[in-house]
Amino acid sequence: MGALYALGVAVYAARVPERWFPGRFDLVGHSHQLFHLLVVAGAYAHYLGALEYLKWRDAVKC
């Protein structure tokens, strides 16, 4: 999850892919959109991890 957040920030900061292909990613696929996709994927991974933790917490009794 943290890797997805970090990758999103790195893509946005590096302005990839519009840096490599100027004018080609003006509407779709630019770094800001990729940043949002990666952050949402990281949040979803966080959500799934929290669900697994809750299942474990209910299964393991003290």
Annotated binding site: 32, 36
Distance of CA 52 to the CA centre of its chain: 19
Where is the binding site for Zn(2+), in residues? 32, 36
Nearest to 33 by CA among 12, 4, 10: 12
Please give the torsion angle defined by the CA atoms of residues 19, 25, 31 and 32, in that order, rounded to the nearest 10 degrees: 140
